[in-house]
Every structure is written in structure tokens, then in C-alpha cells.
Amino acid sequence: MRTWERIAICVLFFPAVRGVAAVGAEPQSPDGTQQFADFGDFKLRNGSVIHDFRIGYRTLGQLNTDKSNAILWPTWLGGTSQDLLQFIGPGNVLDSSKYYVVLVDAIGNGVSSSPSNSQEQPRMRFPRFGIRDMVEAEHRLVTDVLHLSHLRAVMGISMGGMQTFSWVMAYPDFMDVAIPITGSPQSTSYDKLLWTAEIDAIESDPAWNHGNPSKPLTKGIALVEEIDGMNSTSPAYRVAHTDAKGFEAFLSEIRSNAQADGGVASNQIRQRQAIIFLDAPKEFGMTLAQSAKRVRAKLLVIISPQDHMVNPTPAMKMAAEAGFPLVTLNSACGHLSLTCISVGPTVARFLAEPSSVHSVTFEDQANP
């Protein structure tokens, strides 16, 4: 997600969830500080190795006596665990007075080991990794560092939702429930085209110099922002919210932070490559329909049919095959439908009692 998208999520995600801690406020509990776990050499599934690997994470709340209340929430594309803090706390999306929440920085986000912070493998020397590698690192964190053998839930938004789908296939007995939100178990040709176009945009910057820029990239990053601006919502939303007179102002806004050094640009490329090659069912030699039968956790699948960033079709098919409840956010806000329709109460209800939640469609009256 780009900076302006994160701002929208920060302000409006789950707007109907209110309580002791309002959305957008810092958690009330004193924990949640940034922590790291060092794994040394971390072998990836493609055979490459990330040297001096470390994973960033934050924990909030307390484990109950039988260790049955832990929830894992990995980050979205470009997001950090700090971005997720605002959703955690008493009365918030995840109530840390009830749950032990583990927020994890996905590989390549600039906090966990990434092209931007690796001393031995900087920039594009940093090996390619996949969504499954993110999951394997998170599993090792949970089991070897936090000493948990089971989770109440795994949940995530966008690339976090992709990790959630991968989690339930790779470790089908490890969690009770899972909530992939605007994520997917596999990338379609449309997804691949989008992310390839953004990588090409970065690499087309005159300053790129084959991954060794001598100055910050601006033109290529600005083009990525434009592609995101076109795809993060929908044509109907963009036309309704940006008239001809306001277009230049909109364009100026999304270009305003269009700058990245070589390390950050390399982070963006490597995480996008991970999404491009996402195909969780194929990892197990299965079709999507077959992989749905592999899942043992109870899933709540949340999608937007107008999502132009993450094609919702694979998630919808998987929900249908396995009989998982599907929450459809019918909104022109597209991939950012969470900013326009509140699903917080539904998520909270599902975490407490999965059988109480059934498939439902929420209509966005403000952005039809």
C-alpha cells in the first residue's frame, strides 16, 4: 500500500468499532514495542539463503493459561507492524484485553530483513522470496521464539490476506480460525500484469542503473503511484471523486511522496515479485478446489467484487468450494472497501463464535 492508502486505512478502517480505545488511537496497553528475532541463515524455498536474517514483531496483551488466545496478524504490501498498532487495544478491532496479538513484519518490508537493510545482500543482491517464505519465517517466530504450538487465529489484509491463505494450507491444524481480507490464495494473470507493470515502472526510472542508483528514484516511483491511484479503487469511484477540475490536484497529491532510494525501491520490487509468484495450491500439487479440502481451520473470507488490486475470484472460489462464509463488500471503493464499509463487528463476532457468522453482502450506500 502506498502512503496515502495507509492514511485512508488508518482513519477509516473498521469505522464502526468504537469502545474504550477509538480507531486511530494508540493502544491503551503499555506493550507493543518493536522486537526482533534473529535466525542466522534463513533458507528460502527456492534454495537461496538470507544471511543474518531477522524478523520484526510486536506483541500486545497476555496469553491465557492454556495459550488458546493468540492471534497472528502479518503486514500488507509495504506495511509495517507499527501501521497495525492502531487496530489493537481494549474495545478496538482486536481487543488485547482478550487476545494475545502478534503483529509481524513480513520479509522485505524494511523492518524485517530486506534489500534496504541487509549489509551482506543489499538492494537487488537480496534473494527473491515468496509469500510462503514469509509464512515459514512467521511460523518459526511463533513456535521457536514465542513457544506457541497453536493459534486462535491468523488474519491479514491484502498481502497479509495472501499470507493467511498460505498459512491455512501449509499448517492446516495450527489455527482455529483464519480471516483473509482482500487477499488471495493465488495470483491471476490480471494480478501478475499489475505488479509486473509496477516493477517495470520502477526499473524504467532513469536513476535505476540496474539496481544501483546514485540518487533517489522519482519518475519511476511517481508512475507506480499513478498505477496504484488507478487500481486501488474503481473507475466509478475515481470519476465520482475526481472531477476534471480536480484531477491535477489529485495527481499532485499521489505524486507528492514519489521518491525512494535504491533500497526502498528494491523492497518494493521483491515484495511484488513474491505476490506475482503466489500460487499456494500449486505448492501442494493441487487445484484450487482440492486445496480447499485441505483447510481445517474455519475461514471468514472478505472480498470486494470491484477490487482491481487483488483479483477476488480465487478467494471467492475457495470459499464456495469449502463452504466458508463469504463477506462481500459491494463498494466502488474497490481494494479500499474497508475504508468505506465497516466489517469490524463481523470480524469480532467470528473470532468469538465462528458459527454465528454466515455469508453476507454489505452495500456501500455512499459509494454505490
CA 6 centroid distance within chain: 11
Mean pLDDT of each 10-residue bin along the chain, 368 residues long: 42 35 34 96 98 98 96 98 93 91 98 98 98 98 98 98 98 98 98 98 96 95 96 95 88 91 98 98 96 96 98 98 97 96 93 97 93
* Helix axes of 262-276 and 189-203: crossing angle, nearest 10 degrees: 160
Residue 89, pLDDT score: 86
Are 50 and 141 contacting, i.e. CB atoms less than 8 angstroms apart?
Answer: no
What is d(CA 99, CA 89) in angstroms, rounded to the nearest whole number? 9
Would you state the cell numbers that stand for residue 185, as one nine-digit string?
Answer: 490464495
What is d(CA 23, CA 135) in angstroms, rounded to the nearest whole number? 28
Residue 48, pLDDT score: 98
Residue 364, pLDDT score: 96
Residue 31, pLDDT score: 87
- In this prediction the pTM is 0.92
Would you state the cell numbers that stand for residue 317, as one nine-digit string?
Answer: 472460489
What mean pLDDT, rounded, does the chain reach? 91
All structural domains of the chain: 3-186+286-363 (3.40.50.1820), 192-272 (no CATH)
Would you state the cell numbers that stand for residue 316, as one nine-digit string?
Answer: 471467492
H-only helix segments in 204-296: 219-231, 235-241, 247-255, 262-276, 280-283, 288-294
What is d(CA 130, CA 322) in angstroms, rounded to the nearest whole number? 25
Would you state the cell numbers that stand for residue 106, as one nine-digit string?
Answer: 513480513
